[in-house]
């Protein structure tokens, strides 16, 4: 579960996005808005690798808490706030940050493995 600080950050970014682009169905906002909000909360804005972005597109598409379909953009960034194991993913479309997606600690661990090209086969197989 997201911490209160991260939840407030996500709510603020979403509210700003809705206000700034009420007619824009993409629910995107200038990337500087969430980046500055993260920095204001002594957080980190981390650009993700292309492999991480590809992986997260699939997670987004299958996540019942995100809109149907694939996310906007061609890259992604992770917002992390100190003292919280979870994060917030923003899909980046040009100079716009789009619909945030919660990133629990377990997902962040998988993303680290993808960045390091670690392949883990867990389970019994066929």
Report CA-CA distances (Å) from 65 to 20, 110, 113: 23, 19, 24
Q: Is 80 exceeded by the pLDDT of residue 6?
A: no
Residue 24: what pLDDT?
Answer: 45
66 in a domain, yes or no? yes
Domain count, the chain: 1
For residue range 56-105, list pLDDT tens digits in order. 999 999 999 888 999 999 999 999 998 899 999 999 999 999 989 999 99
Q: Is 80 exceeded by the pLDDT of residue 53?
A: yes
DSSP 8-class letter at 71:
P
120 in a domain, yes or no? no
pLDDT band at 23 (very low <50, low <70, confident <90, very high): very low
Residue 70: what pLDDT?
Answer: 93
Print the domain residue range for 86: 4-115
Is residue 98 a contact partner of residue 107, using CB atoms and an 8 Å limit? Answer: no
56 in a domain, yes or no? yes
């Amino acid at each position: 579960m997201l911490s209160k600080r991260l939840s407030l950050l996500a709510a603020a970014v979403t509210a700003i996005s809705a206000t700034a682009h009420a007619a824009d169905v993409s629910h995107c906002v200038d990337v500087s808005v969430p980046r500055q909000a993260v920095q204001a909360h002594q957080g980190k804005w981390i650009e993700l690798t292309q492999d991480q972005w590809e992986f997260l597109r699939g997670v987004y598409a299958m996540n019942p808490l995100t809109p149907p379909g694939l996310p906007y953009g061609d890259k992604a960034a992770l917002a992390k706030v100190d003292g919280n194991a979870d994060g917030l993913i923003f899909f980046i479309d040009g100079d716009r940050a789009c619909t945030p997606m919660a990133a629990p600690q377990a997902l962040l661990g998988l993303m680290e493995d993808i960045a390091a090209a670690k392949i883990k086969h867990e389970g019994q197989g066929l």
